[in-house]
Amino acid sequence: MTRAHEEEVLARIAKGLVYTESEAAFQAPRRRTEQIFEYNHTPPSETEKRRSLLVAIFGSVGERTVLLPPFHAAFGSNVHIGDDFFGNVNLTFVDDVDIRIGDGVMIAPSVTLTTTGHPVHPSRRADFGRFSEPIVIEDKVWIGSNAVVLPGVRIGYGSVIGAGSVVSRSIPPMTVAFGTPCRVVRPITDEDLATRTAGHEAVPFGSSGGPEEEAGEPGGSVRIGRSVVRECR
């Protein structure tokens, strides 16, 4: 493949148009499969080695990053992570194009962030035909277990995505959203500053599975009016 052809394929990918496995094969050297395998088999005590591997795997990675193995990525080099990130086990990045994650983001177990989908008509899926659109997760977002974030989605600052959600459209900042498809349920307000606090009967949230889980209603839930809706576990 000539350089001009490579640039044409990259331009098509950037526009979210369909491209094939053969057309994109020139990008194979950017896959970090060996380093990801090594990271997933590195003992927890070897913190410096883990850190150096994350720097080698990702396009960029901030400070105080916690990523529990195993994790998986199509490339790794197209993932950009900010400071104070917590990612629980079985996090999957389908990063054929950029996945950009801000500061202070928490992601629960078995979440998939996929920038890539496939055409509906089978004839267009020949040679693994696909399209890709970037994902952006802004600062302070919390994504619950088993959620799937689809191509082209932006999740706004501070928002909470409930467990098991399929996020097919962008979510505005400072909102609680969950469901299949994922929809905004309510805003996050100053009333939430009193939740999960001793002596308060307020809106309990589920756990990210992170290192500072608090006690509360079993399994994690959100109270809306008189009903309790399972949310983030």
Which residues are identified as catalytic? 118
Beta-bridge partner residues of 227 = 224
N- to C-terminal Cα distance for the chain? 47
Give the number of other CB atoms < 10 A from CB of residue 62.
16
Amino acid at 12: R
32, two tokens? 């970090």
- Length of the chain equals 233
Phi/psi for 116 (5° steps) reads -125, 140
Q: How far apart are CA 52 and CA 54, in angstroms?
A: 5
105, two tokens? 């983001």
Q: How far apart are CA 87 and CA 110, in angstroms?
A: 10
Q: Of 40, 42, 9, which Cα lies nearest the Cα of 24?
A: 9
Q: How far apart are CA 150 and CA 198, in angstroms?
A: 37
218, two tokens? 């079993």
